[in-house]
Amino acid sequence: MVQNGNHESRWLDPSALMKLKSLELQIKVVVEGFLLGLHRSPYHGFSAEFTEYRPYVAGEDTRYLDWKLYARSDRNYIKKFREETNVRTYLLLDQSRSMAFSSGEYNKLDYARVLLGSVGYFFLRQRDAVGACRFDDTVHDFLPPRVRTGHLRHFLRVLHGAEPGHSTDLGGSVAKIGRLIANRSLVILASDFLGNLDSLEKEIGILRARGNDLIMVQVLDPAEIEWRGDRNLLVRDMETGREIFVQGGQAAERYRRRFADHQAKLSRICNTGGVRLCHVSTSQPVDQFAYHLIKSAAPGWLAGEPAGLARATAGSVVESSSGGDK
């Protein structure tokens, strides 16, 4: 559960950050201070860094025979290298109409946009390929992961184009995006997950089964986490336009109970699917959460981080529901 407040002054005030007009400027401000580092691949490949020798087995490609060693020792050995891979990352932004909800100065969509922008910018700086797309009940502006120069502009254009669209179809959209993702990738999905979760369970299972690593970031407004209406209200659903009349006192209790059930269901789905789930409130500093997210996505990237920074992140921001790091 998101815990408001309790963040140290080193983090940026999200209200101030959101006042910056340029998304590029916003994300650069956020990423400023993140330490650069290399991540090592768990896969062996044929790249630059030598790892070991292995005896040659008939039928193997002779390109990787160490001819010099053969000349010296009259034995055939294959030279193995450590592959340095680039992580392909897909950043998926929910732009459904419910993301436009705000109880303060900026809405969930703005927040999620800066958050994903920061993460993507950081990855691009690390020479990792970043792709992005937006979705509501369908998929918009799918940008395949690239690492080339100028890709940041395309990436920011995709995020910048996010406008509150239609109603959310989480399952359907994840299914469509899953068909677009060809290789094993890291997928970060930012949404409020306020919708029907039944179809989502199956689709993230399929996504995971294809070897993708999935992190789901639930962005919520503080007013959604705690129902504050204590008066009689005519409440209109931003996605469907349906209006209902609620009475303050009774609604709060009911809201609390149902919201807890929904969150528990979401956690259970993520647990079952082996997906890391992060919750964030829009009152939280973006840079703090982005830092945590990157750390959660690729442990070891931020090697050499200040000890205080790590402690503050772990203690205050996020409670992750499954196997992932805190």
Partner 1 sequence: MLGGLAIAGPILFHLIRRSPEKRQDFSSLMFLEPDPPVFSKRSRISHWLLLLLRCLVILLLSLAFARPFLRTDDRVVAPGGLVTHWMIVVDRSASMNRDGVDDAVARSLREALDGSRPGDLALLAAFDGDFEILADWQPVESSTTTSAFDALIRQTPAGFGSTRLGPSLVQAAQIMDDRMAETGSRGSQVAGHIVLISDFQKGAQLDSVQGFEWNELVDVALVSVGSEAPPNAGLALLESDRPGFLRVQVSNDAENLNESFQVVMTGQTSGNVEPQTGEESDAGAAPNEKSYPVRVPAGSSRVISIPMDSTDWANGQLELRGEDSSNFDNTVYWAGSRVGNFNIRTFGLGDENASGTMAFFLQRAFGADESMPVDITPLDSISDLVAGAQYFLIGAGLQDLPDLDDLRQRLEQGVDFLWLPRSPQEFNAVRTALALGTGVEPDQENDGDGTATATATVPVMTSPVTVENSRSMVLLEEIDWTHPVFQPFRDPQFSNFSKVGFYRYLKLPASWVEPAGGRVVASLEGDSPWLVEFVVGDGRLWIMTSGWESGESVLARSSKFLPVLLSLAQSTGAWRSGSSQYSIGDAWKPFESDVALRTPDGRSIEVAAGESFPGLEIPGLVTVAGPRGEYAIPVNLDPRESLCSPSAVAQLETLGVPLNPVDVEERDSEQARAAAELAATKKDTEVESAQKNWKWVVAIVAAILILETWLAGWTSRRQAAIPAGESTV
Given the complex with partner 1, which of 150 and 241 has the nearer CB atom?
241
CB of 129 or CB of 194, closer to partner 1: 194
Distance (Å, rounded) from C-alpha 150 to C-alpha 148?
Answer: 6
Rule CB under 8 A: which residues touch partner 1? 98-99, 101, 108, 192, 194-195, 221, 224, 227, 229, 231-240, 242-247, 250-251, 254-255, 258-259, 262
- DSSP readout, 165-191? -S---HHHHHHHHHHH--S--EEEEEE
3-class state of residue 90 by DSSP: strand
Q: Among candidates 81, 28, 49, which has minimal Cα distance to 286?
A: 28
Secondary element (H or E) of residue 1: none
Contacts of 298 (CB under 8 A, 6+ apart): 39, 87, 186
Phi, psi (5° rounding) for residue 171? Answer: -60, -50
Smaller CB separation from partner 1, 122 or 193: 193
Closer CB to partner 1, 127 or 254, in the complex: 254
Whose Cβ is closer to partner 1: residue 106's or residue 259's?
A: 259
Reduced to 3 states (helix: H, G, I; strand: E, B; else coil), residue 151 is: helix
Nearest distance in Å: CB 253, partner 1 = 11
**Of 66 and 239, which CB lies nearer to partner 1 in the complex structure?**
239
CB 204 within 8 A of CB 272: no
Strands (E), 95-205: 130-135, 139-146, 186-191
Least spacing, CB of residue 309 vs partner 1, in Å: 32
What is the nearest approach in angstroms of partner 1 to the Cβ of residue 44?
Answer: 47
Minimum CB separation of residue 174 from partner 1 in Å reads: 18
Structure tokens at 233: 């209200």
Closest contact distance (angstroms) between CB of 219 and partner 1 is 11
* Alpha-helix runs per DSSP H in 20-73: 23-31, 67-73
108/292 with CB nearer partner 1: 108
> Least separation, in Å, of the C-beta of 125 and partner 1?
33
Q: Closest distance between partner 1 and the C-beta of residue 1, in Å? A: 16
